[in-house]
Structure 1
Amino acid sequence: MTLLLLLAAAALQPAVEPQPSLAAKELRRIPAEEARQGATAGHGSVYAIGNHEIGRYDAKTGQRVARWDGDPAQFPHLNSCELDGRDLVCAASNYPNVPMSSQILWFDATTLKLRRTHSLGHGHGSLTWVTRHAGAWYACYANYDGKGGEPGRDHRETTVVRLDDRLNETALWTFPDSVLERFSPRSASGGAWGDDGLLYVTGHDRPEMYVMRVPAKGSVLEHVTTIALPTDGQAIGWEQGQNRVLWSIERKRTEMVASRVPPVK
């Protein structure tokens, strides 16, 4: 009887949340009024992404040197950006409106002039990030339990899709339960490939980053490890030309934050 009572009491205790096994070390912060959705960096610049604006900041001085302001009716919600050569490629959606629709935007990385757009229409969810790796694009479609979600879908429907250069889908993966539990009730906010061939993903809220591997077989990404971050989720970007320097944002303080990410063995 005593054993049964102990087991029942243990079942009522809240589950102990898994702790990140590694931690990124903060390096510096740059104030940026656009830093509400994410950040990325390269070629001597750091980019702050807002709902419908982008600021380019000089990496040395922290001064803004270019800005793009989009029409909120046409560009209601930018989510993240990544440098690809001379382009700044950004993921955008109509969040929190439904049905969900998404598009990819290409900007001149220096002037922030909008060069072209590509509509993805209504698909797997709300596009939150698009990143280049091994000759292909990888796009993440978020799904939510509440605001911005569609009936019949929740955070467990969050999906990563591989696209060719014509943006045709060539493969699809979902996230494992260990990561979905950390996303809940939101979804994946940021994602970028590391130089180690692993995919680094953040949620919308928690100060941590999930290291993922594409499986040799199957359609569920493998959770390699979790890394603590000095900021609370949102979109991320590696600084090109720097050794594992990652930029994220402190949304409440509108700051871009650089941190060095330890190698994953």
Structure 2
Amino acid sequence: MRFSFLALVTFWLPLHTVFAQRAQEIRRFQLKEVKQGVAVDATHFYVINNHSLTKHTKADGKQVAAWNDTTGLLKHMNSGVVLDRKLYCVHSNYPEVPMVSSIEIFDTATLQHIGTHSFGLYPGSATWADFFQGYWWVAFANYSDKASAEGRDNRWTMLVKFTKSWERLESWQFPANILQAFAPKSTSGGTWGKDGSIYCTGHDKPELYVLQLPDRGSTLKYLKTIPTVSEGQAFAIDRSVKDKVILYGITRNDNFVIVSEIK
């Protein structure tokens, strides 16, 4: 079994880079519903489901606030990131076509919905976003299975750079080996790390992929794969912890939020 696992995760990947680091579990919280992802700030973590949110204390997982969309306008919230006491959730109409996406903004204190930014029709479903070095970075996913839209497969997945006011500047495709790891789905979670690298996940595999912007061309540069305890899907790096890399991830089948340290 060990050989089969290694063979799987190292398809097209240099063996010496794959296991240089791994995520070691610290604690886990089993909650009522954990289906899409998790975000985190200094004191709480936030569970993101298709059209609902819950807020929990980091110490014991106790739920202290909840929000549900009662309008029917939100279909598929994918991920979130906390910035300046606001939770920015990435939303799309997946699996409907044509693809449309938005950023939905919530007050972290109350989980009240306080704003929105619409991408409208776009060549892909927005799955994750982050704000880094004064720019927005958003991943737009395409899929190779039956949910594929408009004739595109997951090779059309891209990372797009926007200004703070949402003007599109540049975009990059994902490397072939990472698209293979994503297949037949696409990237579900992502963020910029403290080291200036891009960390992202696929849909299901317990793996974290580390990428960089290329010094030339339009394809993101693959650095390494980090095995994780949590599944793919949307995750968060706890930026309130300065001397460690603490990862919040999920397992959907049994509704766990898993906290781990990358070592």
Q: Which residue of structure 2 aligns with residue 246 of structure 1?
A: 247
Q: Deviations over 1:58-102 (max 9, x none)?
A: 111211001110137200100000010110011000011111100
* Distance across 2 between alignment mates of 1:128 and 1:255: 20
* Distance across 2 between alignment mates of 1:259 and 1:98: 36
1:83 paired to 2:82? yes
Q: What is the TM-score of this pair, normalised by structure 2?
A: 0.91
Q: Which residue of structure 1 aligns with residue 62 of structure 2?
A: 63
1:118 paired to 2:117? yes
Percent of aligned positions with the same letter in both sequences?
36
Q: Deviations over 1:198-248 (max 9, x none)?
A: 000000011101000011211100000000010221101111211210111
Deviation at 1:33, TM superposition (A): 2.5
Q: Deviations over 1:92-113 (max 9, x none)?
A: 0001111110000110011110
1:1-265 matches, cutoff 5 A: 16-19=7-10, 20-21=18-19, 22-71=21-70, 73-242=72-241, 243-262=244-263
Contact 1:192 1:199 in 2 (8 A): yes
**Count of residues in correspondence between the two structures:** 248
1:202 alignment partner AA? T
Q: Which residue of structure 2 aligns with residue 12 of structure 1?
A: none
Deviation at 1:32, TM superposition (A): 2.3
Contact 2:98 2:150 in 1 (8 A): no
Q: Secondary structure at the match of 1:240?
A: coil
Deviation at 1:137, TM superposition (A): 0.6
Q: Deviations over 1:128-174 (max 9, x none)?
A: 00111111010000101124321320111110000101111111000
Contact 1:27 1:259 in 2 (8 A): yes
* Distance across 2 between alignment mates of 1:236 and 1:203: 11
1:117 alignment partner AA? T
Q: Secondary structure at the match of 1:17?
A: helix
* Distance across 1 between alignment mates of 2:64 and 2:159: 34
Q: Which residue of structure 1 aligns with residue 14 of structure 2?
A: none
Q: Secondary structure at the match of 1:35?
A: coil
1:66 alignment partner AA? A
2:23 alignment partner AA? A
Contact 1:34 1:55 in 2 (8 A): no
Runs of 4+, deviation exceeding 3 Å = none
Q: Secondary structure at the match of 1:182?
A: helix
Contact 1:34 1:49 in 2 (8 A): no
* Distance across 2 between alignment mates of 1:165 and 1:204: 28
Contact 1:34 1:54 in 2 (8 A): no
Contact 1:214 1:222 in 2 (8 A): yes
* Runs of at least 5 residues in structure 2 that lack an aligned partner in the other structure: 1-5, 11-17
Q: What is the TM-score of this pair, normalised by structure 1?
A: 0.90
* Runs of at least 5 residues in structure 1 that lack an aligned partner in the other structure: 1-14
1:244 alignment partner AA? V
Contact 2:201 2:234 in 1 (8 A): yes
* Distance across 2 between alignment mates of 1:188 and 1:32: 24
Q: Secondary structure at the match of 1:178?
A: helix
Distance change in 2, residues 1:173/1:137 (3 Å): same
